């Protein structure tokens, strides 16, 4: 009887040595899990930031395109008062010539039809129109003295520029 009890005790002692984890092992495992969690959280945050940045750039490109559509069918000079640069007296948006858009800021942004777009209140379209030389589009000339102009659109989100595009119009 004594012999059997002693054997059982020896077995239990031996099993206790192998089963379970030590405090050090648990702390090391917790530290590793913590580090992995921090890395995953950081990757997730960076991913979200990139998605948001991509969404803003797509929206900015779309808002610049709205201005492009707006000017496509407009004459360079006003049909009634062709010699004046900018909005003619008493005129309001939408424009009836391209130079009406010079130094205009649309906040909230407008569509190609001049109507305010919904769902884009944090964005603004800043438009400049510059006359350029017909022989060298990189050379600016006095406003209204050329049949070529460069239209530039800067799109901002909460005051920070997201994109800037420009194109040349020849009439
Ligand atoms: Ca006009
Ligand atoms: Ca005008």
Alpha helix (H) residue ranges in 80-135: none
> What's the token pair of residue 24?
């050090």
pLDDT tens for 72-101 read: 989 998 988 888 899 998 898 889 999 999
Is residue 14 over pLDDT 80? no
Sign of the Cα pseudo-torsion (76, 80, 86, 90, in order): negative
Q: What is the pTM for the complete model shown? A: 0.78
Separation of CA 162 and ligand 1 centre (Å):
29
Sequence length of the chain is 171
Asked whether the beta carbons of 85 and 97 are under 8 A apart, the reply is: no
Separation of CA 102 and ligand 2 centre (Å):
9
Asked whether the beta carbons of 161 and 142 are under 8 A apart, the reply is: no
> What's the token pair of residue 40?
């995953």
The bound ligand whose nearest atom lies closest to the alpha carbon of 100 is: 2
Separation of CA 112 and ligand 2 centre (Å):
17
Alpha helix (H) residue ranges in the chain: 2-18, 23-72
Q: How far apart are CA 70 and CA 72, in angstroms?
A: 6
Q: How far apart are CA 83 and CA 100, in angstroms?
A: 12
Asked whether the beta carbons of 155 and 122 are under 8 A apart, the reply is: no
What's residue 24's pLDDT?
Answer: 93
Separation of CA 125 and ligand 2 centre (Å):
18
What's residue 80's pLDDT?
Answer: 86
Phi and psi, residue 73, nearest 5° = -100, 0
Confidence of residue 4 (pLDDT cuts 50, 70, 90): low
pLDDT tens for 108-163 read: 999 999 999 999 999 999 999 999 999 999 999 999 999 999 999 999 999 999 99
């Amino acid at each position: 009887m004594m012999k059997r009890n002693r054997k059982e005790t020896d077995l239990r002692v031996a099993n206790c040595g192998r089963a379970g984890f030590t405090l050090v092992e648990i702390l090391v495992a917790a530290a590793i899990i913590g580090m992995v969690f921090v890395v995953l959280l950081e990757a997730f945050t960076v991913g979200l930031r990139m998605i948001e940045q991509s969404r803003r750039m797509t929206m900015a490109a779309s808002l610049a395109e709205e201005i492009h559509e707006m000017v496509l069918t407009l004459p360079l000079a006003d049909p009634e008062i062709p010699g004046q640069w900018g909005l003619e007296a008493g005129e309001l948006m939408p424009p009836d010539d391209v130079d009406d858009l010079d130094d205009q800021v649309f906040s909230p942004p407008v569509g190609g039809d001049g109507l305010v777009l919904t769902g884009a209140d944090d964005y603004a379209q800043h438009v400049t129109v510059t006359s350029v030389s017909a022989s060298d589009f990189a050379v600016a000339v006095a406003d209204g003295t050329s049949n070529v102009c460069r239209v530039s659109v800067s799109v901002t989100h909460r005051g920070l520029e997201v994109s800037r595009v420009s194109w040349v119009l020849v009439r």
